[in-house]
Amino acid sequence: MNPMIRKELRQRMRDRRGWLLPSLYLLVLGAVITFAYFVTTEERNGAEIQGSTVGVALFLTLAYSQLALLLLLAPIFSAGSITIEREQRTLAGLRTSLLTPAQIWWGKFVSSLLFVLLLLVTSLPLLSMAFAFGGIGSWEIFSASLTTVIILACICAMGLYFSSAFQRSVHATALSYATVIAIAVVTAIVFFVRMQIYESAQRPAGAAGWNQIPWNIRVPMYVNPFFFLTASFAPPRQLYPAWVACATVFILLGAICVSLTLHNLRRKGD
């Protein structure tokens, strides 16, 4: 095993956050899914609630809630990974060790991503509860989990880039959160504002479907993690072009961040 991965994992699991964050994470998810259950099963004019309706509501609530929480937690574990080495005066020792810059990055990346994935795995029992009600299948759970992993990997790669570009952890973390807000909130606002303008201009012709919307209006949503997750709920034959385009964008963003991070790690001096 990469010694950086072993060192980072031991340090993270010995820290108080190693057990406190998963507990708080499950507590919040449990509260959210309990609230969604009572809202969904509330009597509505005597109408009988189908189990599949409850299952779909719980699954969607859990999928979006856990993505929002993990987007908030991912920068904590990645944005300070390299800057803390600078602050503790240990980065120079890492550079002069037998570890290559790629091995240093890989150790930081895997340790950051594994802890976030640990949180994702701990929510599987809640997902299985939604699965028990019906309305969703193994494909929906697999595609949603795979999409969430791709998003988190990209966010961790971005956090490591900011960590390699700044001298202080607070600056890297702040810019990581600003990036998360930009891709998750600002892109949606830009899309809906431009969509309102487009629909008002096209009202006599009727509303257009997603594939009929001009590409320059759709582009911001391809970098939006919540739209990426929404696209993963489609059947396998309908993943193209929305899900494939989103996956390509996130993988390219992650690859660019990896390249820039390795460039920063190879620079001489701090």
- In percent, how much of the chain has pLDDT > 90? 49
Q: What is the pTM of this model?
A: 0.92
Peptide bond between residue 241 and the one before it cis (omega within 30 degrees of 0): yes
Q: For 105-118, what is each residue's pLDDT tens digit? A: 999 999 999 989 98
Distance separating alpha carbons of residues 231 and 150, to the nearest angstrom: 13
Distance separating alpha carbons of residues 188 and 192, to the nearest angstrom: 6
Q: What is the DSSP string of 131-175?
A: HHHSS--HHHHHHHHHHHHHHHHHHHHHHHHHHHH-SSHHHHHHH
Residue pointed to by tokens 């590409």: 215
Provide the mean pLDDT of the chain: 87
Which of the pair, 40 or 71, is modelled with greater confidence? Answer: 71
Q: For 224-266, what is each residue's pLDDT tens digit? A: 999 999 999 988 888 888 999 999 999 999 999 999 999 998 8
Asked if 135 contacts 62 with a C-beta cutoff of 8 angstroms, the reply is: no
State whether the Cα torsion 112-260-97-85 is positive or negative.
negative
Q: For 205-221, what is each residue's pLDDT tens digit? A: 555 578 788 888 999 99
Determine the structural domain holding residue 36 and report its residue range: 3-266
Report the pLDDT value the prediction gives residue 16, as an integer from 0 to 100.
73
Report the pLDDT value the prediction gives residue 268, as an integer from 0 to 100.
47
What's the pLDDT band for 47 if we cut at 50, 70, 90?
low
Report the pLDDT value the prediction gives residue 11, as an integer from 0 to 100.
77
Q: Count the domains in the chain.
A: 1
Residue 249 to residues 75, 151, 191, 210, 213, Cα–Cα distance (Å): 19, 10, 17, 18, 19
Distance separating alpha carbons of residues 3 and 7, to the nearest angstrom: 6
Residue 46 to residues 42, 43, 53, 244, Cα–Cα distance (Å): 10, 6, 16, 43
Q: For 121-156, what is each residue's pLDDT tens digit? A: 988 888 778 878 888 888 888 999 999 999 999 999
